[in-house]
């Protein structure tokens, strides 16, 4: 039975709150499992952080943000507004606690522990995506291209080689090393005078706007209802169960509720009676018209913290991680910085016409792991949020996990580390 205004939902109905890529991923696997699914969003489908990100589906991103040295980088950024990773200090107890908890985890052993769980869900998710693309056709501009990490300097190569060794030895994720003189053969859009690159062939990319629109359209054709401009205002709870949610379009009832509300999830903490420690991690992108010499591969430039992804009719530069609260500005200086950071790597400078300037609030958890599982003390409510920098990469794996957890099945990967009960 469908979740709808004022009507009691049957146990087979699920209401998903949030139509970002995570909500869409959950809807996919819940519908596939036979549930009657409705997805609501306060705005339009995937108009928040899932919209104009870099589009990488990247199992090579095993290492979390909580790595040794992250706190020193954050502290230096207090005095440098142009730092790609920037924290603006705020006197909010929730924010101070978040930072404290984050800082505690920036050590090698916790980084490796988080990475084990990230690897499991990253691998699961890319396999699920490949299955979806083979079933419903490649309307996402999906490409199994691999991902290049390009380095300008020899010292950058040496630093990255250490990271690659760690990934190889601990996780079996190994890159092909590309020396500077080979770069132009690899991708003629890269400047030939750079130090080199590391190529992770197992990664892929897609155009995020197409993932969101084509995936949700195909779900709608299979009976999933999407209700836009429908904001959840309050959660009604009786005897350990969510019985309905009050929305801007009236009361909506269902048998089960999945909250996939991204960076806004923290607002649900008091309503659901559980801790959801999420901070918005703001990033920016610009989408430019396709230059004559457009990269073939998606690339990251770790020394300057910027990435580039080629699309069929444009290309995108994206970067920055700002802990500045729910700040909606797009400063010109940040947009300029995106171009200037990419230019040292590209044959043709990023001076083209801007098709879109964008920001998104990544839902950041202090342990770098997503929050996927049943809400403690509520029988029929689930969280699918906190996907940090990897929401697109993890959407399919998250949806599969949520469908398994909702049905109380054995999960295909160990889900304990993602449980909302860990906080």
156 versus 360: smaller Cβ distance to ligand FAD:
360
17 versus 346: smaller Cβ distance to ligand FAD:
17
4 versus 157: smaller Cβ distance to ligand FAD:
4
Cα 264 from Cα 258, distance rounded (Å): 14
**For ligand FAD, what does the binding mask look like between residues 226 and 255, x meaning CB under 6 A?**
-----xx-----------------------
23 versus 277: smaller Cβ distance to ligand FAD:
23
Q: Which stretch binds ligand FAD (CB under 6 A): 162-170, 234-242, 261-269, 330-338?
A: 261-269
| 318 touching ligand FAD, by CB under 6 A | yes
Among 15, 19, 30, 276, binds ligand FAD (CB under 6 A): 19
| 362 touching ligand FAD, by CB under 6 A | yes
Residue 185 Cβ, how far from ligand FAD at the closest point, in Å? 26
| 20 touching ligand FAD, by CB under 6 A | yes
Cα 299 from Cα 173, distance rounded (Å): 17
| 392 touching ligand FAD, by CB under 6 A | yes
164 versus 261: smaller Cβ distance to ligand FAD:
261
157 versus 235: smaller Cβ distance to ligand FAD:
235
| 62 touching ligand FAD, by CB under 6 A | no
| 405 touching ligand FAD, by CB under 6 A | no
Cα 52 from Cα 207, distance rounded (Å): 8
| 124 touching ligand FAD, by CB under 6 A | no
| 203 touching ligand FAD, by CB under 6 A | no
**For ligand FAD, what does the binding mask look like between residues 284 and 303, x meaning CB under 6 A?**
xx------------------
Residue 327 Cβ, how far from ligand FAD at the closest point, in Å? 13
56 versus 150: smaller Cβ distance to ligand FAD:
56
**For ligand FAD, what does the binding mask look like between residues 21 and 50, x meaning CB under 6 A?**
xxx----------------xxxx--xxxxx
Full 3-state SS string of the chain: CCCEECCCCCCCEEEEECCCHHHHHHHHHHHHCCCEEEEECCCCCCCCCCCCCCCEECCCCCCCCCCCCHHHHHHHHCCCCCCCEEECCCCCHHHHHHHHHHHHCCCHHHHHHHHHHHHHHHHHHHHHHHHHHHHHCCCCCCECCCEEEEECCHHHHHHHHHHHHHHHHHHCCCCEEEEHHHHHHHCCCECCCCCEEEEECCCEECCHHHHHHHHHHHHHHCCCEEECCCCEEEEEEECCEEEEEEECCEEEECCEEEECCHHHHHHHHHHHCCCCCEEEEEEEEEEECCCCCCCCCCEEECCCCEEEEEECCEEEEEEEEEECCCCCCCCHHHHHHHHHHHHHHECCCCCCCEEEEEEEEEEEECCCCCEEEECCCCCCEEEEECCCCCHHHHHHHHHHHHHHHHCCCCCCCCCHHHCHHHC
In this structure, are strands 232-238 and 241-247 parallel, antiparallel, or unpaired? antiparallel
Residue 44 Cβ, how far from ligand FAD at the closest point, in Å? 8
Residue 172 Cβ, how far from ligand FAD at the closest point, in Å? 21
| 342 touching ligand FAD, by CB under 6 A | no
Residue 356 Cβ, how far from ligand FAD at the closest point, in Å? 12
The token pair at 163 is: 């990271």
Among 38, 261, 271, 411, binds ligand FAD (CB under 6 A): 261
Please report, as ranges, the residues that interact with ligand FAD according to CB under 6 A: 17-23, 40-43, 46-50, 53-56, 231-232, 260-264, 283-285, 318, 360, 362-363, 385, 387, 389-393
């Amino acid at each position: 039975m469908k979740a709808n205004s004022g009507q009691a939902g049957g146990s087979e109905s699920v209401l998903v709150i949030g139509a970002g890529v995570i909500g869409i991923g959950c809807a996919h696997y819940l519908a596939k499992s036979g549930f009657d699914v409705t997805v609501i969003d306060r705005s339009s489908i995937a108009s928040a952080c899932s919209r104009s990100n870099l589009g990488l589906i990247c199992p090579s991103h095993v290492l979390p943000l909580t790595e040794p040295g992250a706190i020193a980088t954050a502290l230096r950024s207090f005095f440098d507004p142009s730092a790609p990773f920037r924290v603006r200090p705020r006197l909010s107890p929730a924010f101070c606690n978040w930072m404290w908890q984050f800082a505690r985890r920036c050590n090698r052993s916790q980084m490796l522990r988080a990475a084990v769980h990230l690897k499991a869900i990253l691998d699961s998710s890319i396999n699920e995506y490949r299955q979806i693309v083979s079933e419903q056709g490649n309307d996402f501009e999906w490409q199994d291209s691999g991902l290049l990490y390009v380095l300008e300097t020899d010292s950058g190569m040496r630093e990255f080689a250490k990271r690659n060794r760690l990934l190889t030895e601990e996780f079996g994720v190994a890159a092909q090393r590309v020396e500077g003189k080979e770069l132009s053969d690899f991708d003629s859009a890269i400047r030939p005078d750079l130090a080199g690159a590391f190529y992770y062939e197992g990664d892929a990319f897609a155009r995020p706007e197409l993932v969101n629109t084509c995936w949700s359209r195909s779900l709608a054709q299979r009976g999933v209802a999407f209700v836009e401009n429908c904001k959840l205002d309050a959660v009604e709870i009786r005897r350990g169960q969510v019985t309905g949610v009050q929305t801007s379009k009236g009361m909506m009832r269902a048998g089960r509720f999945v909250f996939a509300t991204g960076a806004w999830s923290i607002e649900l903490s008091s309503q659901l009676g559980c801790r959801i420690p999420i901070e918005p991690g703001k990033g920016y992108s610009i989408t430019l018209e396709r230059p004559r010499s457009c990269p073939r591969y998606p690339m990251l430039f770790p020394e300057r913290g910027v990435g580039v992804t080629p699309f069929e009719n444009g290309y995108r530069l994206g970067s920055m991680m700002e802990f500045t609260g729910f700040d909606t500005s797009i400063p010109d200086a940040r947009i300029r910085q995106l171009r200037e950071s990419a230019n040292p790597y590209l044959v043709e400078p990023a001076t083209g016409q801007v098709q879109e300037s964008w920001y998104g609030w990544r839902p950041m958890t202090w342990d770098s792991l997503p929050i996927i599982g049943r809400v403690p003390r509520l029988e029929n409510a689930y969280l699918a949020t906190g996907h940090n920098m990897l929401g697109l990469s993890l959407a399919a794996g998250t949806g599969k996990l949520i469908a398994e957890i909702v049905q109380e099945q054995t999960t295909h990967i160990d889900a304990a580390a993602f449980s909302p009960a860990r906080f």
